[in-house]
């Protein structure tokens, strides 16, 4: 078991400190067993950054990916996710994020794609999502997950060429079977997992600090330093980034 004290000590050594703004993504199972579970993660982060800092976590009202039927596959569906009700107890964001969003001192948006925030600038979650964290020196803290959980990456994707996006949008038939207001559907995948290219670039540039807490791999880095790599690739070589040329 990872104790509360071991957890706090590891975060302090990693560089989590008073006044810091964090975007946090957690797979609690990555620790094996953590004393106090989800609340240990939340309470320790609050203790370290204090109310002079801010903590943001994802609050997307989405289920985990659901198993595809043979009919789904024939339609070309590759991802099927249910949009959940506003009062959903559990989501695909994990128990830490789900616990965080329900705490009385947390601000959480009401849209399907929302963010939860706490601390000095936590209320920014209601109007700007992760904008404050991205553009004001925020740090990403990933427990047991990798860059594919970093919500901030989506914030630069509006510059993705339209023809790339359209290749993987569901068609009218799919939307009729799975109404967009109830489902999140993808139809196809790019040949390359582009975000792993960005993660590899970030490691090569020494932008990501890494440690282990018990058996849980932890990644810690400046959000914009990594997200800007993605933005640059999208501007200069989006087709190469996604393996589409």
Q: How far is CA 1 from the centre of its chain?
A: 26
Q: Is residue 124 part of a domain?
A: yes
Report pLDDT for 11. Answer: 98
Q: Is residue 184 part of a domain?
A: no
Is 90 exceeded by the pLDDT of residue 189? no
Q: Which residue reads 């982060």 in tokens?
A: 45
Is 90 exceeded by the pLDDT of residue 31? yes
pLDDT tens-digit map of 194-213: 999 999 999 999 999 999 99
Spatial contact of 76 and 188, defined as CB atoms under 8 Å apart? yes
What's the pTM?
Answer: 0.96
Q: Is residue 170 part of a domain?
A: no
pLDDT tens-digit map of 154-188: 999 999 999 998 888 999 999 999 999 999 999 98
Mean pLDDT over 123-141 rounds to 97
Is 90 exceeded by the pLDDT of residue 237? yes
Report pLDDT for 39. Answer: 98
Q: Is residue 100 part of a domain?
A: yes
Report the number of distinct structural domains present in the chain.
1
Mean pLDDT over 90-116 rounds to 96
Burial of residue 160 (CB within 10 Å: 0-12, 13-18, 19+) is: middle
- Calculate ∠ Cα 119-50-111, nearest 5°: 20
Q: Which domain, by its residues, includes 209?
A: 4-61+90-159+193-241
Q: Is residue 231 part of a domain?
A: yes
Instruction: Give the containing element (helix H, strand E) for 62.
Output: none
Local structure of 121: helix, strand or coil: coil
Report pLDDT for 160. Answer: 94
Q: Is residue 118 part of a domain?
A: yes
Mean pLDDT over 30-35 rounds to 95
CA distance 79 to 101: 25
Phi, psi of 9, deg, nearest 5: -60, -45
Mean pLDDT over 115-123 rounds to 98
Q: Is residue 76 part of a domain?
A: no
């Amino acid at each position: 078991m990872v104790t509360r004290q071991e957890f706090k000590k590891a975060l302090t050594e990693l560089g989590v400190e008073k006044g810091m703004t964090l975007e946090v993504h957690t797979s609690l199972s990555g620790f094996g067993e953590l004393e106090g579970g989800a609340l240990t993660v939340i309470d320790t982060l609050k203790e370290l950054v204090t109310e002079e800092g801010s903590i943001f976590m994802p609050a997307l009202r989405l289920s985990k990916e659901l198993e595809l039927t043979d009919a789904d596959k024939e339609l070309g569906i590759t991802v099927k996710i249910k949009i959940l009700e506003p009062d959903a107890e559990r989501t695909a964001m994990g128990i830490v994020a789900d616990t965080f969003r329900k705490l009385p001192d947390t601000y959480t948006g009401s849209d399907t794609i929302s963010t939860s925030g706490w601390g000095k600038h936590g209320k920014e979650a209601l109007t700007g999502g992760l904008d404050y964290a991205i553009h004001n020196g925020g740090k990403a803290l990933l427990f047991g997950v990798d860059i594919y959980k970093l919500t901030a990456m989506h914030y630069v994707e509006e510059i993705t060429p339209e023809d790339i996006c359209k290749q993987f949008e569901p068609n009218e038939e799919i939307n009729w079977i799975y109404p967009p207001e109830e489902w999140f559907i993808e139809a196809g995948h790019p040949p390359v997992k582009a975000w792993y290219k960005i993660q590899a670039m970030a490691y090569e540039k020494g932008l990501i600090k890494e440690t282990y807490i018990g058996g849980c791999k932890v990644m810690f880095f400046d959000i914009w330093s990594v997200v800007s790599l993605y933005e640059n690739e999208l501007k200069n070589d989006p087709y190469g980034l996604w393996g589409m040329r």
